[in-house]
Amino acid sequence: MSYRELTMIEVREVLRRWQAGQALRETVRETGLDRMTVRRYVDAAATVGLKRETTLRDEDVQAVAQRVTDRSLPEPSEQRLALMPHRDQIAAWLEGERPLKLTKVHDLLKRRGVEVTYATLRRFAIDELAWHKRPPTVRIDDAAPGEEAQVDFGKMGRFRDETTGKMRDLWALIVTLTFSRYMFVKPMFHQTTEAVCAGLDEAWAFFGGVVHRIVPDNMSAIVDDAGSENFKLVDSFAEYAEARGFFVDAARVRHPKDKPRVENQVAFVRESWWEGEEFPSLEDARRSAADWCRERAGLRVHGTTRKVPREVFEEMEQARLLPPPSAPFDVPTWTKAKVHPDHHIQVARALYSVPTRFIGREVRVRSDRSLVRIYLKAELIKTHPRQPPDGRSTDANDYPVGRAPLALRSVEAVVAQAKKRGENVGLYAERLFDVTVPWSRLRHAQQLVRLCDKYGDRRVDETCRRAIAFDVIDVPRITRMLKDAIKTEDVGEREGRVIVLSKTRFARDTSSFSTTSSLRSDAEVTP
């Protein structure tokens, strides 16, 4: 069966669309999820008592996901099991050079003694063989006012970055309202999800509201692996869409020809605005682009609609937009991490504790400016305040009873190991643990001992001595110092070595060359 367990973000997206009253068929098409999968989560929402009009909370999402995973999958019927041994033959009948009708296949199976109903055979052919599955279709009629915007991302050219003085590729985020053709353009250097979200927020401010749906171009900032059939929204952008209240029609990313209503805006912007212009700074370019959208592109007679985009927008579309955002969106970062035996995961060089039962599991981590949330599938298992690099957030309740003394004993054991490798290595380990929570440096101390195995006790001890003299208590820095020392030694060995060149094909013996000058003085030249 095609059912799969969804992530927390995917569950939220399905439930959000269900609460908005979106048809199941449309949700399946726009998200790329299997129909049966979507149906299971929607049915689970009704089972747990979730209402369409209520605010969607993390607890609701988790309850729905738990309901789906706890419910065992239905056992296949005896008739369906009877068809499985004949799967390849049924596929050959239906997909051959001269495909048979399903009614004929039904008759042929009866002759072989396979007694199943026609309905069972039809469901089997659809589920197992994708028989008669129609490809996703897209409306080609114009969207209603305020309903939809097309989002494109294209390269304008080379532009000098005033912060570095270097030439860089300059891109343009182009947001075009499908109904009126009124557009917004923002030049930018970056193509990250954070940059796109910030650009869209500026577009909503420019329009004075938010559309109900966007159709993105093939951009990785919005859609993961957009060129494949198994597309999905980037988790961070899915959260942004939910916060702003619009849906993303990601299905059409795979089919750029499904967007015939809006022409190639990238080429239009490049040729009509960018070409021939010189801007002293990026901010000047952005102001110019906004003015051009408002006064030039917005006031021209559109070649297709034969109307003025800005006038159509102001008269018929602006009032139907969703309210504009009132505050910037804190774009989160989603990563994967493994829970180590010390009860911690590492995210952005900071450590966060996780309860014992999750040791060895891979978790997904959501990080924003203030909080770090740790998920196992759709279950929120831990929340921590965000820590700076090399910081640590440890909840003592995540440890078994009496684990803290054990951690301290582990620290003492590592220090003892370090002292065996060298006096300065041991002293460096002691300096490393001279913090409020000593076991937070346990991994770095273990790494220090492993450096002795790789580079030798003597070399590491000498490096630790020099680092202590300069008060450099940082194991990654010690690692770099050792690598640089090895490189220097290698260069010295190469420079002191006599290099013997092999005789080449066209080399001449040294006797063929004269050691005296062939030039004669004027006195030697006879008149």
The predicted pLDDT at position 502 comes to: 47
The residues pairing with 351 across neighbouring beta strands, listed in sequence order, are 346, 392
Poorest-confidence range of 34-38, 167-171, 250-254?
Answer: 250-254
By three-state DSSP, how is residue 41 classified? helix
Poorest-confidence range of 240-254, 344-358, 417-431?
Answer: 240-254
By three-state DSSP, how is residue 195 classified? helix
The predicted pLDDT at position 411 comes to: 77
Is 338 within 8 Å of 362 (Cβ atoms)? Answer: yes
Poorest-confidence range of 61-65, 148-152, 169-173, 322-326?
Answer: 61-65
**Token code pair at residue 7:** 């992530």
The predicted pLDDT at position 497 comes to: 54
Residue-wise pLDDT tens digits, 17-31: 988 888 888 888 888
Q: Is the pLDDT of residue 263 over 70?
A: no
Q: Residue 259: pLDDT band by 50, 70, 90 thresholds?
A: low
Q: Quote the mean pLDDT of the chain.
A: 82
Q: Is the pLDDT of residue 451 over 60?
A: yes
The predicted pLDDT at position 43 comes to: 84
Q: Residue 491: pLDDT band by 50, 70, 90 thresholds?
A: low
Q: Residue 171: pLDDT band by 50, 70, 90 thresholds?
A: very high
Residue-wise pLDDT tens digits, 330-339: 999 999 999 9
Is 34 within 8 Å of 2 (Cβ atoms)? Answer: yes
The predicted pLDDT at position 400 comes to: 75
The predicted pLDDT at position 316 comes to: 94
The predicted pLDDT at position 494 comes to: 53
Alpha-carbon span 179 to 211, nearest angstrom:
11
The predicted pLDDT at position 468 comes to: 92
Do you know the residue count of the chain? 527
Task: Characterize the bridge pairing of strands 247-248 and 213-216.
Answer: parallel
- Tell me the average pLDDT across 158-178: 92
The predicted pLDDT at position 436 comes to: 62
Residue-wise pLDDT tens digits, 58-104: 888 888 888 887 754 455 678 878 888 888 889 888 887 778 888 88
- Tell me the average pLDDT across 442-468: 91
By three-state DSSP, how is residue 238 classified? helix
Q: Is the pLDDT of residue 520 over 70?
A: no
- Tell me the average pLDDT across 404-418: 73
Q: Which residue has the higher pLDDT, 432 or 504?
A: 432
- Residue 140's φ and ψ, nearest 5 degrees, are -110, -5
CA distances to 35, 63, 382, 470 from 133, in Å: 12, 32, 42, 70
